[in-house]
Amino acid sequence: MKSFLRIILAASVLLTPISLSNAQETLTINGKQVTRVVIAPARSPIAKIIKKQLRSNYDSQKFESRKWYDAQKLYYFYGARHFEPIWLTQDEAGKTAFSNKALKIIELFNNAYLSGLEPKNYLTDDINLELIGNDQTKLAYVETAFSAVALNYAQDAYGGRINSRKVSNNFDYKPNKIDRAKLLLDMVYSDNPISILLALEPKHKEYIALKSVLARHYNGTIKQVAIIADGKILRLGDEDTRLPLIRQRLEIVSANINENIYDETLLVAIEEFQTKMGLTSDGIIGPATIAAFNGGNATTKEDIIANMEIWRWLPRDLGNFNVFVNIPEYRLTINNNDKVTFSTRVVVGQTKFQTPMFSDEIEHIVVNPYWNVPRSILNNELAPSIKSNPNYLASQNMELVSGGKVINDRNIDWSTTSMNRFYVRQRPGPRNALGSVKFLFPNKHAVYLHDTPSKSLFFRSRRAFSHGCVRVKDPWDFAKALLQIEPKITYASIASQRGGKKERWNNVATHIPVHLAYFTLRIDKNGSVRSYGDIYGHNKRLKVLLGI
């Protein structure tokens, strides 16, 4: 603390005017610009108490922690204005009340639920004047507590109230943080602090649409229908107590006396519904079909709030031209100025090999790729076959590599040699696990988008089969759509490389933002809410953490 308040003056000091909006001043010492902290003296009784409380809070925080920096900024901020209150006023009789500016912010706190936030997190006893009376010490605490609560609201609105890592370590977005000191200044000097706080919410069109749907839930415009519960997969002839509700949702009457029987009439309706919802039209009522039924008016406020929270974790700017993979939807899109210009199905990671959520940029398109087998797959799945079968690697078009050189595995005595000395790669070819092309955005998770020889998996409704990477159903159509903004590489040039035995790298001049996301609710082009299965359980976990 002392190091921040110590002022060292030297000869030939040139001072610039001190702004009361910042408890610092810039000065020149021996020709160099430096910044020093300026704390104006507290004069009034309440100001002295505010100073003491802020100083105590500042000194009690762990050095250079987030709370330490926040406490420092708050101390400097009030210090620039003689520690006089911002949010409190006194009438001629000496009665203390909230200022008009504070009352406007309190009104926003009351309506926080409309933004998917929780009013009670901000309307705390710490800022309840009715419980305080006219005790100057307690009023001073209300003043500083109100600033802290307003900033907490701002951070929640901007970056979310839950740390995404608490849901899963597979959420790897860079946290969206506000500049607390600047924001406090903006609110103090604005005639409309509510507009400043509302402007912190995401501008993504789907977030805005979800917020609108949430409002309609609260005002009674949307009459919520019954949720269809998860359960066993249903096929023609099966019996289940959920079938009458499914029939009701599809507005069909059973031709059977027993409405709990899955009959031909329902089968036709289910297939039509699946086609309409973009699902595999197989008549099988599984998790994806049940999730689709639970969209629209069956969507719950809790699910809307959870998905709004996730939008707060994503980058504020997704890029005018971007690739967006929604894992629960098993779908990839290319978006150009918020319009979908390309869409295809994808296969994502299994539950035990979950695809992580993060944002990056596509930098390379690799044609005829090698597949460098991940160490976990090599050790846990391939090693036993390699050690017991001398022909295994050759049969899989694979080779053993060490020090950048291909090693003849037949000459290795595995009883005395560790597999950790080597890595395995699969040569380019029709059976290569990555297919004929991959799209790289170098990242610590070692995941990317790629082709696959296992085309049949794309025709299943539930498509979580990979070890974490994202398999693309139409990779060459995707490449063509992707390269429409690329100035140096043409689709024809990379297509001409296809089919060879040599790996070919193509470095794109324009790096393309790519976002791997996890939304169980999406808003379609007609403004309807689509629901998707919570395949990794992230949505369920998030709702628990949110307390909803």
Looking at the annotation, which residues are catalytic? 450, 469
Q: In 3D, which of 45, 47, 46, 75 has the Cα closest to residue 60?
A: 75
CB-facing half-sphere around the CA of 349: CA atoms within 13 A: 21
CA distance 133 to 213: 41
**Measured CA angle at 70 (ends 193, 166), to 5 deg:** 95
**Measured CA angle at 403 (ends 400, 406), to 5 deg:** 35
Q: In the structure encoding, which two tokens stand for residue 279, read together?
A: 């699902």
**Cα–Cα distances in angstroms (integers) from residue 32 to residues 13, 14, 18, in the given order:** 10, 10, 18
* Spatial CB neighbours of 206, under 8 Å, sequence gap ≥ 6: 311, 519, 522, 523
* Spatial CB neighbours of 350, under 8 Å, sequence gap ≥ 6: 464, 465, 466, 467
Exposure pattern of 12-51 as b/e (b: 16+ CB <10 Å)? eeeeeeeeeebbebebeeeeeeeebbbbbebeeebbbbbb
CA distance 131 to 197: 27
CB-facing half-sphere around the CA of 432: CA atoms within 13 A: 26
Q: In the structure encoding, which two tokens stand for residue 301, read together?
A: 């406020």
Contact 176, 163 (CB under 8 A): no
Residue 128: CB atoms within 10 A of its CB come to: 11
CA distance 519 to 533: 9
Cα 288 from chain centroid?
A: 22
CA distance 344 to 437: 16
Count of residues in the chain? 548
SS3 390: coil
SS3 389: coil
Burial of 274 (0-12, 13-18, 19+ CB in 10 A): buried
**Cα–Cα distances in angstroms (integers) from residue 23 to residues 18, 35, 79, 381, 544, in the given order:** 8, 10, 6, 61, 41
